[in-house]
Amino acid sequence: MQRRVTTATLAAAFAVVVAIATGAHGATAGTLTSTDLATAGTGSPYYRIPALARSVQGTLLAAYDARPTLGDLPSNIGVVLRRSTDGGATWSTQQVVRRDAAPAGNGDPSLLVDRETGRIFVFYASSVNQGYLGSGTGNDGSDPGILQADYSYSDDDGVTWTHERITADIKDPAWGGLFAASGEGIQIRKGTYKGRLIQQYAVRKNGANYAASAYSDDHGATWHMGGLVGPGADENKTVELSDGRIMLNSRSSAGYRKVAYSSDGGVTYTALQNDTELPDPANNGSIARFAPDVAASHARSSWLMFSNTATKSGRSNLTVRLSCDNGQNWPIRRTAEAGSAAYSTLTPLGDGTGSNPSVGMLWERGGVQAIVYSSFDLKWLGGVCAPVTVTPPAALPAGRTTNVTVRVTSQNDVTLPAGTVSLALPAGWTAPTVTVPALNPGQGANMTVPVTVPAGTTAGSVTATATYEVRGSQHSYGDTTLTVTAS
């Protein structure tokens, strides 16, 4: 089943304005196009846990669990896969990567492509008697009471697979459960650790959850585990930044994503900290380089993309974001699915350059009724690299008008023309749209927005969003919390 959402938004490509008739794979530019790859009850009672990658031959690989119930391991789960050799326009029939006889199970896939050798890895957890929470300590690869760390690899572009077990290589015997965080691992493209493969894991130790990076410097011949990051982590991803550091981005129960940084190729990380621009309801998300192979001097070397269900509670509002500064700010965002959704994972469909490159996303729709493949382009995302910061006053008295400061900072490499900034406020509140002057590269401007709070408004905190609009259809956003006091 295909669904198409059309928009008139313009490309967010650093002020490059080019007339484009079509996007990737013949789709109309400025669209998000979606196809259900697996539907609950067809071929398997349930499907969960999406993984997505693009091989060195350009083949898209979509892996996920085929589950007899919605329960996690231990259960007789199998890892299955569909392939597309035409950029996602059509997909092969579903094939089995690994399925074992009951009670054994294999689940939570994560793809990783070695772009130097072409080998494709699928990491997953394998169980007999115990899952993540019940797994015993130790690292005996034959112990049915231990959740095992396995992977399969393919040297023929994902057609056939060979299975390996690396529990003894990467698991400290003092740890309990350990599983590969689903989605996609990375290969470091530049610098001291160029060629290193990194797959993220969630680790259970003494009843607490941690993150850790398993890594290989010999194309997967041997694997090692870095230090634990946490506690307070969960399913997590990494991304290579333009300055050579590795950023770890983790699901957590704190209401926001947690991030940490590594300067040694993922072996050790800084302490976790909340990214308050990325709300999260304890759900798996995705972070990736937009243009992974461009030089550090390229304008898009610091572009990151991120997806998750952007709420603090409940899994809904699947949102795609773009950062133009290595994840320091996330001013560009668009909702891909307003309703119920769950896990998601992103991968670029090209080198990320040009006027309107595209991205693929594999995600779970609804109460995991389907595994959905979507593709979109920069025109659909419709943003502009200009972070918006809102500085509210200490309080806004009900029944009065109070000034709120909104700052827009251009990260474009050419001048932005004059635009506007507006505030989305609760019903009954008023605030005018304010003009933003033209901004040169790196220049910022503060705007004063008078906000009127209706008399009788209940004291407390409310959320508000500032929207910067330029060229009539490019947007960036900034969120804030306003404190209301009684009049």
For every one of its 487 residues, what pLDDT tens digit does the chain have, with 9 covering 90 and above?
433 333 333 233 333 332 223 344 456 889 999 999 999 999 999 999 999 999 999 999 999 999 999 999 999 999 999 999 999 999 999 999 999 999 999 999 999 999 999 999 999 999 999 999 999 999 999 999 999 999 999 999 999 999 999 999 999 999 999 999 999 999 999 999 999 999 999 999 999 999 999 999 999 999 999 999 999 999 999 999 999 999 999 999 999 999 999 999 999 999 999 999 999 999 999 999 999 999 999 999 999 999 999 999 999 999 999 999 999 999 999 999 999 999 999 999 999 999 999 999 999 999 899 999 999 999 999 999 999 999 999 999 999 999 999 999 999 989 999 999 999 999 999 999 999 999 999 999 999 999 999 999 999 999 999 999 999 999 999 999 999 999 7
Q: How many CB atoms lie within 10 A of CB 231?
A: 15
Please report, as a single letter, which amino acid is at residue 207: G
State the pTM of this model.
0.93
Interior/surface letters 42-67, b for 16+ CB within 10 angstroms, e for the rest: eebebbbbbbbbbbeeebbbbbbbbb
Please state, in angstroms and rounded to a whole number, the distance separating the CA atoms of residues 132 and 149: 11
- Residue 60: which of 318, 322, 309, 360 has the closest Cα? 360
In the chain, where are the structural domains located? 1-37+311-383, 38-310, 388-485
Domain 388-485, CATH: 2.60.40.10
Fold of 38-310: Neuraminidase (2.120.10)
Q: Which positions are catalytic?
A: 72, 235, 343
| Sign for the pseudo-dihedral over CA of 12, 18, 19, 20 | negative
